Amino acid sequence: MLLTGLVLAVLDWCRRRPSSGCWFEQRKGARVSQVSTTSDFTPASVEQNEVLCINEGDTNGVSMTDRKLGFSRNTYLVTFGSFFADMSTEMLTPVLPIFLTQTLNANGSIVGLVDGIAQAARNLIDGLSGSISDRLRKRKLIVLAGYALAAIAKPFMGISTIWEGVLAARILDRLGAGVRSAPRDAIVASSVDKRERGGGFGLEGLAEHAGAFLGPVLTVLLLYSLQFDISVIFFLALIPALLALSIILFVNEKSAPIPDGRAVSMNPRQLPMLYWRYLLAIAVLSIGNSSNSFLILRTQEVGASVITTTLIYAGFNLVAALMSYPLTALSDNWGRKIILLGSCVVFLLAYLGFALVQSMAAILALFLLYGVYQGSFRSVGRALACDLAPEQLRASAIGWFSATVGLCQLFASVAAGVLWDRLGHASAFIFGAASAGAGIVAIALLLPRNTKADVRNAVER
């Protein structure tokens, strides 16, 4: 049942794809005609007749006959790679603080230091890896390098005898995640029909959150039911990491075309102004969106046990997984801005609730509600970042989006920690809710109402 969403997506793709041919849409009218893939045509003739192939231009090395209408083979390969990668990472989430404090006798400050430095390293590399992959036009190679770094790092955490060794391995793990993130998402964007780009990112988000749900559950099963030693978990986490690496080997990539034969510039100013307005709105929103650790702390504060908190967090990831695909796919029809605003409203309501409510049942409901935001925000956000960038700069656009979100959330977590210690839990969540409100206003004002038309104009300029 955990992979129900993935199965439904596959069935939906099989149902909707045409039996043959490539679909073309004429610019000057609403009429759509089917053209046989065996017909002779050239880019010049296509341009002369002002015909746009809906599936052509974002192929990323996938032939039109392989792609048909909707998702391609690459989409599913990257999706399952993301599933196993996130399962591997989240297997360590419950045990890493315990390993540091109980096995290596580190204190709570060291736990925060290890996670904070590692996440900061990832956030800094996110934007650079996207720009480098655009420059080299070798996205698959960089994705493989990222998966390999993350896989190698996990057993090194388990064999560390001092916390500094865990820190070094954790930094390597997060650097691997940062290296692979933007070019991997660029492959997803290039592997789907542009009319269903949101669905592609939603499918990837579904897999990520499904892995995030199964990882901790698998760890609890290994620790409490099968009585594995805690250090063994770090070695077992290598298995799904290697599976993810193996799956990406089968991705078929060709270099994205470069306009006029020019080299890709790594200068961020090459991205359109509308993209930077969008990034500013995202920064305003994310400046108060602190780590989920504060939601966990709030859950324990109202009386939840460790096991109950773990199950609630697993349910949160399950909701995020189940909501990611349908909501992000909906943005293909309703528009990215509407779904993005809706997810921000959920963020606002959830944080206000965490600040005010006291009962366990209310906290449970709010945590599950927040899963709706978690499942939609990043997927829709990445899809919109792709929409606002030319094809040859997509990895850069996704990378700077992820770096902006990550760095702002790092600041938000530090601020929330200070507010929590000095003024209590309510102040931390009210700060986040205020950020959500300001972000809603920023998105409403800085992003155009007619998103599709303005995106097209921005990219063409």
- 94-100 contacts, C-beta under 8 A, 24 or more apart: 94/216, 94/219, 94/220, 94/310, 95/219, 95/223, 95/230, 95/233, 95/234, 96/157, 96/166, 96/170, 98/230, 99/157, 99/158, 99/166, 99/230, 99/231, 99/234, 100/163, 100/166
Average pLDDT over residues 136-165: 92
Q: What are phi and psi of 263, to 5 degrees?
A: -70, 150
Q: What's the pLDDT score for residue 142?
A: 92
Coil/strand/helix, residue 212: helix
Pair 156, 171: CB distance under 8 Å = no
Q: What's the pLDDT score for residue 108?
A: 65
Average pLDDT over residues 125-150: 87
Question: Please, which pLDDT band fits residue 257 given cuts at 50, 70 and 90?
Answer: low
> How many CB atoms sit inside 10 A of residue 446's CB?
16
pLDDT(399) > 80: yes
Tens of pLDDT, residue by residue over 80-123, are: 999 999 999 989 887 888 888 888 888 767 877 787 788 878 87
Q: pLDDT above 70 covers what percent of the chain?
A: 78
Q: List, in order of start, the domains of the chain with CATH numbers.
A: 21-54 (no CATH), 73-460 (1.20.1250.20)
pLDDT(441) > 50: yes
* In the block, residue with structure tokens 């989409």: 75
CA distances from 419 to 410, 434, 435 (A): 14, 14, 14
CA nearest to 64, candidates 98, 103, 21:
21
pLDDT(34) > 80: no
